[in-house]
Amino acid sequence: MNRPDKWIAEVSRLLGPQGVRTDASALEQHAWDALSDGRIHPQKRPEFHAPRCLVLPASTAEVRDVVLLANRERIPIVPFGGGSGLMGGALSVRAGIVMDLKRMAAVVSVDTMGQQARVQAGSVLETLDKTLHENRLMLGHDPWTYPVATVGGAISTNSLGYRGAKYGSMGDQVLGLEAVLPRGEVLQTRAVAKSSTGIDLNALLIGGEGCFGIITEATLRVFPLPEKRALQAYRFKSFEAGFTVITKIWQRGLRPALLDFGDDPGKSDGGAILYLAFEGARELVQAEERLGRSLCEAAGGRGLPRREAERFWDERHAIARRFMKNRRQRRERRNDVLRREFIHVALPVTRVLAFREAASEIVLGHGVELRESGLWIGPELFSMRLAQEANRDPVELQNAVAEVLRLAHRLGGSMEYCHGVGLKLAPLMSEEHGAGFDIMGRIKDALDPNRIMNPGKMGL
């Protein structure tokens, strides 16, 4: 039956007319995520295909019905959350089904005493957080994509947010999951804080980018709304000076809710700026605030006006709100005079400064401009913002990125800590994991022998 008209008709029968769309505007909108065209290596660019249809299931049972059909007919499925992924995890490389879970956005239950929330995977983080606030609770995950990203998408990339130092990544907040696997099995893990009864099956789906199944529901650890929040900003004379104090903050056991550090010349006058936020119980925050100030000032940090820290905090989601208004512009960026890139690597703390120096030389050697280097969440998580004039060879920019990521590998690091792999980093997965990548492939074959589930992502 693998004729599109026949299986689309069958999907329509399963979901009803409100559950299927084939109009060009819907298909075009769901064919891409937020990976801009200029960030794809020109020599490693996969072939893209518009999806045949968009499906919008309203229940786990409907997800399962579509997966069973797709598996039987060898039709690829791409799970689609908020479409804000930066690595191409929701791009269509084979014409098939895109499954958008936006109709599955219910907050099923909130346990205020146990500090848990059971939610459907299509829940938008900001919307979920507002519901939690009504119960004096909050979501610990606070990425830049907060107003657009969904629970399922954030779990699938094991996303990290601004509050990650205190509350962990999205995956750290998962207690239990429900998911439909590629052959139609419905996996339900027990939503408990700790289990020693075999391997953690949540780990199949946390960071799995939809390659091993479609998350339909999650039970999340949630947190009390803070009694107090203290915001601070400091300017340091150099990246090295700020890095040293951040390592001391970690050594003292401080875990700020926010730690954002960078040496953007446009903001730091040749130095580097550190933003900190402490939040939680009033007495604890007061003590953390004093200790943070003491450490920063002792290292030569000059305190900036509180309004500077407040501005950073208030505007941390502004990029996502702009993205929501014009998704296509972000994808194409045709009017830009610069190509933009970024690197987020995890490294042993002792190798961060050596990596920064060597990576800077690599980038400049390819004729690429280093706009900013920085740390996010903690001293091990290093970032770089790059730019290249649009009239230069884009291959040089992408070769610079690949060379820097391979340097991270040689120094014992990981090539990405925040956004996942998608298509963008798929060519480097075997170098990242070695024999582990072959193991991932064997797990994929066991669960998804027909390779229908988000094909091509993570190199699988």
Residues 61 and 185: their CA atoms lie apart, in Å, by 11
Please give the pLDDT value at position 324.
78
- Evaluate whether 421 touches 457 at the Cβ level (below 8 Å): yes
Q: Residue 249 maps to which CATH number? A: 3.30.70.3450
Please give the pLDDT value at position 319.
87
Q: Is the same domain home to 293 and 355? A: no
Burial category of 117 from C-beta neighbours within 10 Å (exposed 0-12, middle 13-18, buried 19 and up): buried
Helical H segments across 262-326, by residue range: 265-268, 282-298, 306-314, 318-325
Nearest Cα residue to 271 out of 263, 259, 279: 263
Q: Is the same domain home to 288 and 354? A: no
Q: Is the residue at 443 inside a domain?
A: no
- What is the tally of structural domains in the chain? 4
Q: Is the residue at 173 inside a domain?
A: yes
Residues 456 and 68: their CA atoms lie apart, in Å, by 20
Q: Residue 366 maps to which CATH number? A: 3.30.70.2740
Q: Is the residue at 455 inside a domain?
A: no
Q: Is the same domain home to 385 and 409? A: yes
Which letter does DSSP use for residue 305 in this model?
Answer: P
Strand locations in 295-451, DSSP E?
Answer: 302-303, 338-346, 369-376, 381-389
- Evaluate whether 339 touches 396 at the Cβ level (below 8 Å): no
Nearest Cα residue to 216 out of 427, 396, 66, 435: 66
Nearest Cα residue to 112 out of 277, 239, 222: 222
Dihedral pair phi/psi, residue 261, rounded to 5°: -135, 135
Residues 282 and 278: their CA atoms lie apart, in Å, by 10
pTM of the model: 0.95
CA distances from residue 194 to 89, 113, 176, 210, 241 in whole angstroms, order as listed = 30, 18, 10, 24, 40
Q: Is the residue at 453 inside a domain?
A: no
Q: Is the residue at 11 inside a domain?
A: yes
Q: Is the same domain home to 309 and 278? A: yes
Q: Is the same domain home to 391 and 425? A: yes
Q: Is the same domain home to 119 and 98? A: no
Please give the pLDDT value at position 90.
94
Q: Is the residue at 457 inside a domain?
A: no
- Evaluate whether 459 touches 426 at the Cβ level (below 8 Å): yes
Buried b (16+ CB within 10 A) or exposed e, 89-98: bbbbbbbbbb
**Beta-carbon contacts of residue 458 (< 8 Å; ≥ 6 apart):** 208, 209, 211, 420, 421, 422, 426, 429, 440
Query: How high is the mean pLDDT in each 10-residue block of the chain (460 residues)?
Result: 82 93 92 88 88 97 98 96 94 94 98 98 98 98 96 98 96 98 98 95 97 98 98 97 97 96 85 97 97 97 96 93 70 69 98 98 97 96 96 94 98 97 97 97 97 96
Residues 84 and 33: their CA atoms lie apart, in Å, by 6
Quote the Cα angle for 111-139-347, to 5°. 130
Q: Is the residue at 311 inside a domain?
A: yes
- Evaluate whether 151 touches 220 at the Cβ level (below 8 Å): yes
What tokens appear for 140 in the block?
């610990």
Q: Is the same domain home to 124 and 191? A: yes
Range of the domain at 262: 228-316
What tokens appear for 411 in the block?
């120094």
Please give the pLDDT value at position 337.
83
Q: Is the same domain home to 195 and 255? A: no
Helical H segments across 74-217, by residue range: 125-133, 151-156, 164-167
Q: Is the same domain home to 70 and 149? A: no
**Beta-carbon contacts of residue 36 (< 8 Å; ≥ 6 apart):** 330, 331, 332, 333, 340
Q: Residue 157 maps to which CATH number? A: 3.30.465.10
**Which of 268, 299, 316 is the last residue in one of the domains?**
316
Tell me the pLDDT tens digit for each residue of 12-68: 999 998 999 999 999 988 998 989 888 998 888 888 888 999 999 999 999 999 999
Quote the Cα angle for 154-151-384, to 5°. 20
Q: Is the same domain home to 307 and 344? A: no
What tokens appear for 129 in the block?
């957080």
**Beta-carbon contacts of residue 49 (< 8 Å; ≥ 6 apart):** 92, 93, 94, 95
Residues 82 and 315: their CA atoms lie apart, in Å, by 20
Please give the pLDDT value at position 331.
57
Residue with tokens 């893990």: 189
Dihedral pair phi/psi, residue 2, rounded to 5°: -75, 50
**Which of 102, 128, 146 is the last residue in one of the domains?**
102
Q: Is the residue at 58 inside a domain?
A: yes
Please give the pLDDT value at position 328.
55
Q: Is the same domain home to 41 and 73? A: yes
Burial category of 363 from C-beta neighbours within 10 Å (exposed 0-12, middle 13-18, buried 19 and up): buried
Q: Is the same domain home to 327 and 312? A: no
